[in-house]
Amino acid sequence: MRRARIDTQALARSLSAAASHHTAVDLRFNAYGLGVSRVSELARDAGFTGAMTSPDAREGCVLPETQGKSVSENWWSGESPSVFFEADVISLKRVASGSPVSYGYEYRTAGETTLALVAAGFSDGVPRTASPGAEIFLAGRRFPIAGRIAMDQVIVDVGDHPVTLGEVATIWGDSPSVSEWADWSRRPEAALLTHLASRVERQWV
């Protein structure tokens, strides 16, 4: 129901760009949640040398030789996104105008609308501090998150736009981007990737 799709080619291009600028890559925290083993393989292919493995992948600092080099913490960031955080729509509900939504009923619908329940919440790594204001891409366009982000799901107000059960919602990827979520949540991009939960399936494509 929830997954992090990792674009191998996009990530390889980003690592190659870092290597060409003589930049070291910071692979702490299990390569910021992406998996240190796989990222290390791509980094070696990109031309990095040095300490690319760690006895403790969860906490170990994994860096190539850094003497005389700057260290990039956003080595996954390039011209195209390398990580897509997605979850499925698991429920659709038509509600009346003025319906309260989510914790504290801080959000009320402006008119009759459809609410889509997306199967990812703050226990999966969707930062609570991003609401209100955050958006999700669904069924060809972006929609605002309705109310607070809950533990296991978020609610999206899709109005009269056609959305189907089981449809894939993009939390971050092309649009919106992880940098937008960093702005909305007031947290670094690296922190957002690192806090993707273990139950979020990593898919290398």
129-142 pLDDT per residue, tens: 998 889 999 999 99
pLDDT of the residue at 62: 44
Burial letters for 161-171: b for 16+ Cβ neighbours within 10 Å, e otherwise?
eebeeebebbb
pLDDT of the residue at 139: 95
For the chain, domain boundaries: 7-72, 83-204
Q: How far is CA 43 from the centre of its chain?
A: 21
3-class state of residue 195 by DSSP: coil
pLDDT tens digits for 179-201?
Answer: 999 999 999 998 999 999 999 99
pLDDT of the residue at 131: 86
pLDDT of the residue at 69: 60
Looking at CATH, the fold of the domain delimited by 83-204 is given as Lyase, Ornithine Decarboxylase; Chain A, domain 1 (2.40.37)
Q: How far apart are CA 175 and CA 159, in angstroms?
A: 19
Q: What is the dihedral of CA 66, 71, 73, 76, to 10 degrees?
A: -80
pLDDT of the residue at 169: 98
pLDDT of the residue at 35: 86
pLDDT of the residue at 123: 96
Q: Which stretches of the chain score pLDDT less than 70?
A: 22, 49-70, 73
pLDDT of the residue at 68: 57
pLDDT of the residue at 67: 55
What phi and psi, each to the nearest 5 degrees, are found at residue 138? -155, 130
pLDDT of the residue at 122: 96
What phi and psi, each to the nearest 5 degrees, are found at residue 108? -130, 140
